[in-house]
Chain A
Amino acid sequence: MFLGLPPRGRVLPIGCHRLLTSLLLAAALGIALLPQPAASLPLYARQTGQPCATCHTAFWELTPFGRRFKLGGYTMGGGDWTGPPFAVTLEAPTYTHTEAGQAGGAASHFGPNNNFAFQQASLFTGGRITDNLGAFIQGTYDGVARRFAWDNTDIRFANSVNVDGHKLLWGVTANNNPTVQDVWNTIPAWSFPFISSALAPTPNAKTFIDLVYAQQVAGLTGYAFFDDLFYLEFGGYRPLSNNTQKALGISPTGQSPISGVAPYWRVAVEPNFGDHSWQVGTFGLTSNVFPMGLSGAGTDSFTDVGTDTQYQYLGDPHTVTARVAWIHENHNTSASQTLGLADNSNNQLRSLNASLSYIYDKTWSFTGGRMSIGGTPDATLYGTFTGSSNSANWITEIAYLPFMRGGPSFWPWLNARIGLQWIRWDKFDGATSNFNGAGRNAHANNTIFGYVWIAF
């Protein structure tokens, strides 16, 4: 979830754009240089004086309060914390078991199966800087790849005004991952599963908006939330240069950089009534890209259009969330075809992510979900033995969250999510059996993932 690792078999970006890159760096510099009130920048629970359950049904899924806290620029106060503005999350220990071992090891330094791992350690800073400026800044040590890199970053200015008797909350966000600025848990950066094994197999095909450009771009978008109901956002993304990415811990190898600016848009409506919150929306990203960074044949282009809906029942002690997101990608691969990187001159992908969670007493979380992706076959582009891009799984998870209402007396800001996740693959990289030409079946990738996820 946090560290946007390049997916296998898909092309990712490089490049540079002075202004947007500088904006993120300058904003970070600004945070350091601007005078801080005595109580500024404690992270969110400490800053607001609220327990985790106010903003999260079960972390990291947001409640209506949490969504508005984020749209308000992470600036809301209410707490009396005067300590340093940092938080830490640890994904450790984790345990990954696949139905059949992975030849050559699940990753460098790991065995074929039954691996324990210290998966991630993230350091966060940000929170309220002024009454209208706030941030979410994350750096992550990846315990599987054994490297440190910048992670999700979202720095925003927000203000609320009255327009002819109607409330308008507006803002600007500078961020490094298309969809990371979003507030609903249907969209790729924050969708279920909220934590996944870094040692389990994943399909080759994925849509561009599904974190392909995470941490490799700088973006600026403006948004408006009208009458606490209608949400509209528009902006664009540019790639970071190779040197900038390397300096931030990101390897630019194998990326397909955006050419020019990639427009991003988001429209949603969220009516709230009593204990119910319902959202319907659409989102998208479109761009020209240099396939594998090669410019000799011009550019490919893609347009990703998503539709999503989320329903939450926020009762006590019962909470229910249903989420569905469907993404269609049209991918013009004429440049890739000329370069021998694709068989077809045009491809389509369609992905579905649907899940249903029940949370009891803000403590026990039960989730079931269905994920699928598929589209036109293209063996060269997707790198599959079958040529097909089709994969589908069922996922179930049980999680125990003992501290959503507050941690133990010796450290009230401690939170933890202890979970067990099971993934059953119906189809993987285009086949149910022998998907890799070496006799491996989709079921061989069925995964049991146990984890302890700690935040403090």
Chain B
Amino acid sequence: MPGEPESVSARFSRRSLLRSAVGITGILAATLNPALAQPKISKVAVNYQDHPDGDKRCDKCVQFQPPDACKVVEGTISPQGSCRIFILNRA
């Protein structure tokens, strides 16, 4: 279009798009290392404490993984601990 800058009027071809897409997908796939650890949330971000908060205790939470871990919070977790995201395990 008249008046448009070159970068505006430029069009990438389907071939170049497909080539780039395949290349980048390959890079992404190659980068994905299943051994990398899934990020967990820090204790400070959930206000974790080593003591219960009333009836809320980590060993009553759905996220607790005996004996001393959590599915979503990093580090060693006390069964007697508590945090802001407690969800009662009704099972």
Interface residues of A (CB under 8 A from B): 14-19, 21-23, 25-27, 29-30, 33-34, 48-51, 54, 64-65, 67-69, 71-73, 75-78, 130-133, 157-160, 167, 169, 228, 239, 241-243, 257, 259, 272-275, 290, 293-296, 314, 316
* Residues of A contacting B31 in the complex (Cβ-Cβ under 8 angstroms): 157
A139 to B3, CA, bound (A): 32
* Residues of B contacting A169 in the complex (Cβ-Cβ under 8 angstroms): 39
Per-residue CB proximity of B31-49 to A under 8 Å, as 1/0? Answer: 1111011111110111100
A235 to B4, CA, bound (A): 26
**Chain A nearest CB, measured from B24 CB (Å):** 4
Q: Is the CB of A25 within 8 A of B17?
A: yes
From B8, B21, B72, give the contact of A48 (CB < 8 A). B72
* Residues of B contacting A69 in the complex (Cβ-Cβ under 8 angstroms): 41
A160 (CB) vs chain B CBs: closest residue: B39
Q: Is the CB of B5 within 8 A of A228?
A: no
Chain A contact residues: over half helix, strand or loop, or mixed?
mixed
A-B contact count (CB 8 A): 156
Identify which of residues 23-64 in chain B touch chain A, using a CB-to-CB cut-off of 8 Å: 23-25, 28-29, 31-34, 36-42, 44-47, 62-63
Q: Is the CB of B29 within 8 A of A78?
A: no
* Residues of A contacting B20 in the complex (Cβ-Cβ under 8 angstroms): 18-19, 22-23, 26
A26/B45 contact (C-beta < 8 A), A131-B37, A132-B38 known: no
Q: Is the CB of A295 within 8 A of B6?
A: yes
* Residues of B contacting A272 in the complex (Cβ-Cβ under 8 angstroms): 44-45, 47
Q: Is the CB of A275 within 8 A of B47?
A: yes
* Residues of A contacting B87 in the complex (Cβ-Cβ under 8 angstroms): 49-51
Interface centre among B10, B16, B21, B23 (most CB of A within 10 A): B21
**Chain B nearest CB, measured from A108 CB (Å):** 26
**Chain B nearest CB, measured from A438 CB (Å):** 32
Q: Is the CB of B5 within 8 A of A34?
A: no
A22/B17 contact (C-beta < 8 A), A27-B24, A131-B34, A257-B8 known: yes
A25 to B21, CA, bound (A): 7
Q: Is the CB of A54 within 8 A of B85?
A: yes
Residue B76 at the A interface, CB < 8 A? no
Q: Is the CB of B38 within 8 A of A77?
A: yes
**Chain B nearest CB, measured from A147 CB (Å):** 22
A49 to B22, CA, bound (A): 34
From A14, A22, A73, give the contact of B39 (CB < 8 A). A73
A257 (CB) vs chain B CBs: closest residue: B8
A169 to B46, CA, bound (A): 17
Interface residues of B (CB under 8 A from A): 3-8, 10-12, 16-17, 20-25, 28-29, 31-34, 36-42, 44-47, 62-63, 71-72, 84-85, 87
Q: Is the CB of B63 within 8 A of A49?
A: yes
A243/B11 contact (C-beta < 8 A), A27-B24, A64-B45, A295-B6 known: yes
Q: Show 12 residue pairs from A and B whose CB-CB distance is below 8 angstroms, ordered by the A residue.
A: A18-B20, A22-B21, A34-B28, A50-B87, A51-B87, A65-B45, A68-B45, A72-B41, A77-B72, A159-B39, A160-B40, A316-B84
Q: Is the CB of A290 within 8 A of B16?
A: no
* Residues of B contacting A296 in the complex (Cβ-Cβ under 8 angstroms): 3
Q: Is the CB of A76 within 8 A of B38?
A: yes
* Residues of B contacting A131 in the complex (Cβ-Cβ under 8 angstroms): 34, 36-38
Q: Closest 9 interchain pairs by CB?
A: A22-B20, A72-B39, A295-B5, A26-B24, A26-B21, A64-B45, A131-B38, A78-B71, A30-B25
A454 to B10, CA, bound (A): 41
From A48, A67, A68, A132, give the contact of B36 (CB < 8 A). A132
A255 (CB) vs chain B CBs: closest residue: B8
A22 to B17, CA, bound (A): 6
A295/B36 contact (C-beta < 8 A), A18-B12, A18-B20, A76-B41 known: no
From A19, A293, A314, give the contact of B4 (CB < 8 A). A293
Instruction: A29-B25, A68-B41, A290-B5 given; name 6 further pairs at CB < 8 Å.
Output: A23-B24, A30-B24, A50-B72, A54-B85, A64-B45, A294-B4
Q: Is the CB of B4 within 8 A of A295?
A: yes
A30 to B40, CA, bound (A): 24
Q: Is the CB of B5 within 8 A of A30?
A: no
A227 (CB) vs chain B CBs: closest residue: B42
Q: Is the CB of B46 within 8 A of A259?
A: no
A241 to B36, CA, bound (A): 36
A15/B8 contact (C-beta < 8 A), A64-B45, A65-B45 known: yes
* Residues of A contacting B25 in the complex (Cβ-Cβ under 8 angstroms): 26-27, 29-30, 33
A295 (CB) vs chain B CBs: closest residue: B5
Interface centre among B20, B38, B44 (most CB of A within 10 A): B38
A130 to B37, CA, bound (A): 11
Q: Is the CB of B5 within 8 A of A78?
A: no
Q: Is the CB of A15 within 8 A of B37?
A: no
